[in-house]
Structure 1
Amino acid sequence: MKPINLKFLYPSQFFFSIFILTVFITLNISAAISGGGNTYIPILLLFILSAGFFLPFKIINGTFRVYKKFIFLLIFIFYFFLKAVFQYDDLSRFFAYTLGTSGGIILFYMIGCLVSNLFFKIYDLKKSFQINLLLFLLLIFFNLCLYYIFKSIYSNLRVDILLISDLDAGYQRSGDLITILFVIGSFIVYYLFESIKGLYLSVVTLVLYLFMLFFVVMSSQLIGSNKGFVIPLIISIILFYCIFFKVEMVDKEKFRYFKFLAIALLLSAVSYVVINIDFDALRFSGYGSGEESSLTSRIQIFKNNFYTHFSYSPYIGHLEVDSKLTGAGTYVHSFLFFCLTHFGIIGLGIIGVYLVLCFNFLSGNSNIQVFKRYVFVFILAFAVIATSLFWPVIWFVIGLLCPVFVCANSEIKK
């Protein structure tokens, strides 16, 4: 059967799907800021429908392939399900941890896979004017949404410190969602730098990206999310390194970009002096205490609780070991050690094999593969030292960089 050519529809699908996902993220963060409980599930379903709309055609064409490494993730999910049956009072928590909008590993993994498929389909078309225009429009839309989020947060600040007055535990979810949006924006900027020609368009792209970075890191600090502060900064450094040292350009162009970045940093320093931002009032400084409270508390929890939790059931772990032994929420904040205490050596072995296969999948010397590999290693390293297994960002990034499926007419990498 002759394959159906749908390439002319890919740019519109990409723009509409990313637009819908951005709206979903923006509304969720705004709801958390205002104290609302709406998670806007219909908008998320619309994104899934639009991003996966052409998948049935790809299956019919025979160009839909599932990577073999996915079997290890399926085994881990099944292992998680079996543990939930015997170790949870009911299965509602299992579904919350796999499909929930606050930390569902399957949900965010599949969102990452769908976004990856959207990028894959337009990558070969990136040199077209239409694609570049749509990507520019998306960057502008990202900035408008991030400005709206920043403005909403700023209007609800406390008077004593730079922290939103009433967000409770929702700051983690908001910080994760805004980080996911920044990751998508970073890949859009990278693709633009690989395709556009001319200094002025490149500078405009950098300006839009720097505005994104500012809104994300400041919004994250104002809601109390250090993860949303650190991760975008490091990813932006990785992006600039890959652009200036990996993407082919003449030395004259590199000098111009470095000059622009130097001017941008100088203007940032001037802005700090003029605005007189009190960094002692921000969370990453410990609100003037001289130490990072979230970091020190994580270290203390590890020292006090890890061995106790791990020795309770070292081979298979226990999903509620913290509640049983030291109190709910006193688990170790580390992807690695959380796996050991809650899923045991067996669970860590399964997920470890899958992550190794994902890293091998990102092998290669092409510019985009190098960028992906750096981002993957950084996110994984950050998760190992700072987050649990159910961190949405790492599962989104795994889905984005190492998707379960691919749609292509050429030979598929296994």
Structure 2
Amino acid sequence: MWLLVSFQSATLLVYLKYNIVSIGSGGVALPVLALFVGASVVLFLALWMKDRLYVRPHLFLFLGLMAWVAFRVVYDLGDLDRLKALTIATTGGMLLFYLMGAALRVGYQQLVQDERVRWPITLALSLVVFFLVWILLEFSGRLHTRYFLLTGIDGGYQRPGNFLSIVFLVFSFLFILGALKTQSLSSRLKSEVLWVTVYVAVAITMLGTAQLMGSNSATAVIAGVTVITLALAVFAPRKKAFLSYARGRLALPLSKRLLRSMALSALVGLVAVVLGVAALITVTGFELERLRVLGFGAGRISSLASRLDIMMEHGAAQLSYAPLLGNMNVAYLTTGSAGRTLHSFFPYVMANLGLVGLALVLLLFLTVFLQLYRESKQRLSGGVYAYRLNLIAIYSFLILLYLLVFANLATGVSWVVLWFALGFISQPVTFQSRWLEADQRLSFRGKTN
């Protein structure tokens, strides 16, 4: 089982790696993606044979959204290629990346549940670091002579930037789980410092990689996820925190102690990252004007400014064109250019899918957030496993909330990072072993008595 989980994770990382290093030349390594799908199917069937299968209701909300997208594309555009691009394509396929995230979560959840096995976590983290080094070696011969940018990109940075964001999301979730399991809820300072140092080093390296690729989106995702991860990682493994939880003195998720600790940890983590970047700039003599995020010295973030300009100039016209049912061709019909779509998640959904689509999206995310809130409060028997589930649920809530906020600043509906994260975090299909069900029943009886 663990070899199968490891193989599933490794094939996804290999697929993402090859598509990152092929920046500027389109998608590659489809056979590797097929291996990931095959491994996921085998893992699903193996777990189905020994555990109970549960399908969460929000899966049907997502499928309803996909059905509405398909109807609007066919009715408004009559373009099956556009439908493929929005659903199953490897660049903007909402359905494909949602299912990829859900499939990977099946393997991740086995790591969460198993108290004995830790080596797959170490292996997966090591693989991410290995592939990051491999990516940098591949990029080393493509550096621009003037800017901190790769040559030969030709505007094709969004796809590999999204894939780099997904790699970092997976790495961060593995890091949180590793911090909870490997440190064994101890308060050993050396262990904590080592884990945090490795994570910060990887985060800074990936920030630099994102800028090399010219992806401001990946830069923002990595920066935000880093702060959230460090905020929880410093607090979560501490023995005092767990003892307070076990004695009922730590009321998750809205504990004042947790919120204070996370705020302080986030501040310390942010300072650590900023100091690390500042130290690199000082040592290397790097000029900030070479970064795309600063507009190569223009003094403004051009990608964000252009999105804001479209919203200000054409937002009202697109939102009011077909407010109830939407129109997938609204950008062309109102501006004369299909490319001038609204790069803001909720407004894009409203303009293109109408109030019907917006209601489906809002209900979908609301259901997932409520699920995570319930999971962050559920105590089971009050042991280490329950504590781990609570903290992972809190972490998932914060990550998904951050990605949703960022999507409303800079992306449309086909931002695959958000859909991958939604599939991974929401666990639309999950398996539960009988020992865990028994633990839940005992907990319920104890509360009743």
After TM superposition, the score normalised by the length of structure 2 is 0.82
User: Which of residues 337, 355, 363 is equivalent to 2:365?
Assistant: 355
User: Which of residues 122, 146, 160 is equivalent to 2:146?
Assistant: 160
For the pair 1:99 / 2:123, whether they are aligned, the reply is: no
Secondary structure at 1:26's aligned position in 2? Answer: helix
Q: Which residue of 2 aligns with 1:190?
A: 176
Query: Structure 2 CA distance, aligned partners of 1:157 and 1:78?
Result: 44
CA contact (8 A) 2:324 2:356 kept: yes
Query: Structure 1 CA distance, aligned partners of 2:143 and 2:194?
Result: 32
Q: Which residue of 2 aligns with 1:388?
A: 412
Aligned residues: 396
Q: Which residue of 2 aligns with 1:216?
A: 206
Secondary structure at 1:407's aligned position in 2? Answer: strand
Query: Structure 2 CA distance, aligned partners of 1:276 and 1:134?
Result: 39
Q: Deviations over 1:340-380 (max 9, x none)?
A: 11101111011111111011010124211111111111111
Q: Which residue of 1 aligns with 2:302?
A: 293
More deviation in 338-347 or 256-265?
A: 256-265
Query: Structure 2 CA distance, aligned partners of 1:336 and 1:132?
Result: 40
Q: Which residue of 2 aligns with 1:334?
A: 344
Q: Offset of 1:245 from its aligned partner?
A: 2.9
Aligned ranges 1:287-326 → 2 under 5 Å? 287-326=296-335
RMSD, aligned α-carbons: 2.5
Aligned ranges 1:54-69 → 2 under 5 Å? 54-61=43-50, 63-69=52-58
Which AA in structure 2 matches 1:332? L
Q: Which residue of 1 aligns with 2:167?
A: 181
Q: Deviations over 1:128-173 (max 9, x none)?
A: 3xx4333223222211211222233342122221122221232011
Secondary structure at 1:362's aligned position in 2? Answer: helix
TM-aligned CA distance change 1:383 to 1:37, over 3 Å: closer
Which AA in structure 2 matches 1:286? G
TM-aligned CA distance change 1:316 to 1:266, over 3 Å: closer
Query: Structure 1 CA distance, aligned partners of 2:220 and 2:27?
Result: 28
Query: Structure 1 CA distance, aligned partners of 2:311 and 2:271?
Result: 41
CA contact (8 A) 1:142 1:212 kept: no
Q: Which residue of 1 aligns with 2:15?
A: 24
Ranges in structure 1 where 5+ consecutive residues have no aligned partner: 1-8
Secondary structure at 2:309's aligned position in 1? Answer: helix
CA contact (8 A) 2:4 2:43 kept: no
User: Which of residues 366, 379, 389 is equivalent to 2:403?
Assistant: 379
For the pair 1:172 / 2:158, whether they are aligned, the reply is: yes
For the pair 1:345 / 2:331, whether they are aligned, the reply is: no
CA contact (8 A) 1:39 1:101 kept: no
CA contact (8 A) 1:154 1:222 kept: no
User: Which of residues 59, 84, 101 is equivalent to 1:112?
Assistant: 101
For the pair 1:403 / 2:427, whether they are aligned, the reply is: yes
TM-aligned CA distance change 1:352 to 1:133, over 3 Å: same
Q: Deviations over 1:34-86 (max 9, x none)?
A: x4444211111111211231322444456111111222111111111111221
TM-aligned CA distance change 1:290 to 1:133, over 3 Å: same
CA contact (8 A) 2:230 2:269 kept: no
Q: Deviations over 1:221-256 (max 9, x none)?
A: 1111111111111111111111223443459xx999
CA contact (8 A) 1:99 1:106 kept: yes
CA contact (8 A) 2:180 2:236 kept: no
Query: Structure 2 CA distance, aligned partners of 1:263 and 1:395?
Result: 30
TM-aligned CA distance change 1:75 to 1:109, over 3 Å: same
Q: Offset of 1:204 from its aligned partner?
A: 3.5
Aligned ranges 1:261-280 → 2 under 5 Å? 268-280=277-289
Query: Structure 2 CA distance, aligned partners of 1:291 and 1:302?
Result: 17
TM-aligned CA distance change 1:162 to 1:69, over 3 Å: same
Ranges in structure 2 where 5+ consecutive residues have no aligned partner: 242-260, 378-389, 441-449
Query: Structure 2 CA distance, aligned partners of 1:84 and 1:262?
Result: 46
Query: Structure 2 CA distance, aligned partners of 1:258 and 1:335?
Result: 28
Which AA in structure 2 matches 1:218? G
For the pair 1:229 / 2:215, whether they are aligned, the reply is: no
CA contact (8 A) 2:227 2:266 kept: no
Which AA in structure 1 matches 2:76? Q
TM-aligned CA distance change 1:166 to 1:61, over 3 Å: same
Which AA in structure 2 matches 1:208? V
Secondary structure at 1:286's aligned position in 2? Answer: helix
Q: Deviations over 1:358-407 (max 9, x none)?
A: 11010124211111111111111111121101000000110011021101
TM-aligned CA distance change 1:121 to 1:237, over 3 Å: same
Q: Which residue of 2 aligns with 1:6?
A: none
Query: Structure 2 CA distance, aligned partners of 1:268 and 1:31?
Result: 27
Secondary structure at 1:160's aligned position in 2? Answer: coil
Query: Structure 2 CA distance, aligned partners of 1:367 and 1:336?
Result: 28
Q: Offset of 1:308 from its aligned partner?
A: 1.3
Query: Structure 1 CA distance, aligned partners of 2:269 and 2:161?
Result: 29
Query: Structure 1 CA distance, aligned partners of 2:268 and 2:158?
Result: 36
Which AA in structure 2 matches 1:348? L
Q: Percent identity?
A: 24
